[in-house]
Amino acid sequence: MSKLLTGAIRKVSALSTRLQMRGAPKAAILMYHCVAKSELDPWNLSVTPERFAEHLEIIQQQAVPMSLRDLAAAQRSGNVPNRAVAITFDDGYANNLYQAKPLLNYYQIPATVFVATGSLGSAQGFWWDELAQALLTPGTLPKTLSLTIDQQLKCWHLGDAATYSDDDYQQDRHRNAWEGKPNSRLAFYYAVWEALKNLSANQQQLLQAEILTWAGAQAPIHSDYRALTHTELTALAQDGSIEIGAHTVTHPSLPAHDAVFQQAEIKQSKQTLEQILPYPITSFAYPFGDLNQASIAAVEASGFEQACSTVQKGVWKKSDQFRLPRFEVKNWDRSAFQKQLETWLH
């Protein structure tokens, strides 16, 4: 079959899907990470408690809030409730218990928290947060960072970015990690993050230790970005209003590793959570939203009933239960969130 014909068939198929979706009931799965007031947030992971409360109020008034499990079950039966909204959190930050849960309980809205089990009870933060704290704190760093990655020497020459002023920091607070200007400190942070992202947890930890020593960073991770402890995880799940889902052990980019590694990460995270909590873990989310066919096969083989991606689409009756799409929520005010929600549900 020619490439031209194949491309035409794909276009027709995509058009047919869009036409079917146009009149079909739609739901939205929302993806949050942190509910916290944060000064340092290069990935836009934080929503303040005040803004989160506004989001919940709008969902309560203008949508049909429901748990991810119930929404996924409805989707499998082909009966997606129109304007249904399910809330999820990724990674397992402690602020999900102290900031998010009281607000969720107040508005009587369920949620799912996907936990990377290897970070439970860790005195350290998630590696990307520690890296940001080390590299994006105002001050002066050495001119060159050299790391040996996969037996190859990689060097970053900071130039003027070695000095990072309070003004630089304030300007970068309004940029995403990938939006740093060339040769800026934010661009340097993003480049180092990219170099570490696809490595194993052991490699990341060794290199992270080198980077922290090089940067002279000794301060503990900010409490807003601390991971849950085992006791906090139990408290989070205690009354049943919050479902706990799995998010692997070490939060790797799964497609960067072979099928055996992926299976172990996915299955072990489920087993660890089931040893702590008194119910089966049936929901999963792919770290970074990265997945391939081996990832999906491992999720199915491990006994999960549904899994979430980070594809920005609504849920409808023909969505794949192991690649459920989600919309990433930013720290929007009431008006902006309301507008986004209406767009997503239509």
How crowded is residue 11: how many other Cβ atoms within 10 Å of its Cβ?
10
- Cα 265 to Cα 247: distance, rounded to the nearest angstrom: 9
φ, ψ dihedrals at 308, nearest 5°: -110, 140
Distances (CA, A) of 120 to 124, 223, 334: 10, 14, 33
Q: What is the pLDDT of residues 156-201, one digit of tens each?
A: 999 999 999 999 999 998 899 999 999 999 999 999 999 999 999 9
pLDDT, position 153: 96
Residue 86: HSE in the Cβ half-sphere, 13 Å Cα cutoff:
28
Distances (CA, A) of 330 to 40, 120, 302, 322, 341: 15, 25, 32, 24, 12
- Cα 134 to Cα 95: distance, rounded to the nearest angstrom: 21
Local confidence band at 16 (pLDDT 50, 70, 90 cut-offs): very low
φ, ψ dihedrals at 113, nearest 5°: -115, 120
- Cα 321 to Cα 261: distance, rounded to the nearest angstrom: 23
- Cα 50 to Cα 57: distance, rounded to the nearest angstrom: 11
CA angle 21, 342, 173 (to 5 degrees): 120
Q: What is the pLDDT of residues 207-231, one digit of tens each?
A: 999 999 999 986 566 677 899 999 9
For the packed helices 49-62 and 334-345, what is the interaxial angle rounded to 10 degrees?
Answer: 40
| Pairing mode of beta strands 283-285, 306-308 | parallel
Lowest mean pLDDT among 118-132, 274-288, 328-342: 118-132
Q: Which domains does the chain have, with CATH numbers?
A: 25-122+229-345 (3.20.20.370), 127-220 (no CATH)
Q: What is the mean pLDDT of residues 337-343?
A: 97
Question: Whole-number mean pLDDT of the chain?
Answer: 92
| Pairing mode of beta strands 283-285, 34-35 | unpaired
Lowest mean pLDDT among 73-82, 116-125, 313-322: 116-125
Annotate the chain with three-state secondary structure.
Answer: CCHHHHHHHHHHHHHHHHHHHHCCCCEEEEEECEECCCCCCCCCCEECHHHHHHHHHHHHHHCEECCHHHHHHHHHCCCCCCCEEEEEEEECECHHHHHHHHHHHHHCCCEEEEECHHHCCCCCCCHHHHHHHHHCCCEECCCEEEEEECCEEEEEECHHHHEECHHHHHHHCCCCHHHCCCCCHHHHHHHHHHHHHCCCHHHHHHHHHHHHHHHCCCCCCCHHHCECCHHHHHHHHCCCCEEEEECCCCCCCHHHCCHHHHHHHHHHHHHHHHHHCCCCCCEEECHHHCCCHHHHHHHHHCCCCEEECCCCCCECCCCCCCCECCEECCCCCHHHHHHHHHHHHC
The phi-psi region of residue 321 (left if phi > 0; otherwise alpha if psi is between -120 and 50; otherwise beta) is: alpha
Distances (CA, A) of 224 to 35, 46, 201, 211, 332: 8, 9, 22, 22, 19
Local confidence band at 9 (pLDDT 50, 70, 90 cut-offs): very low
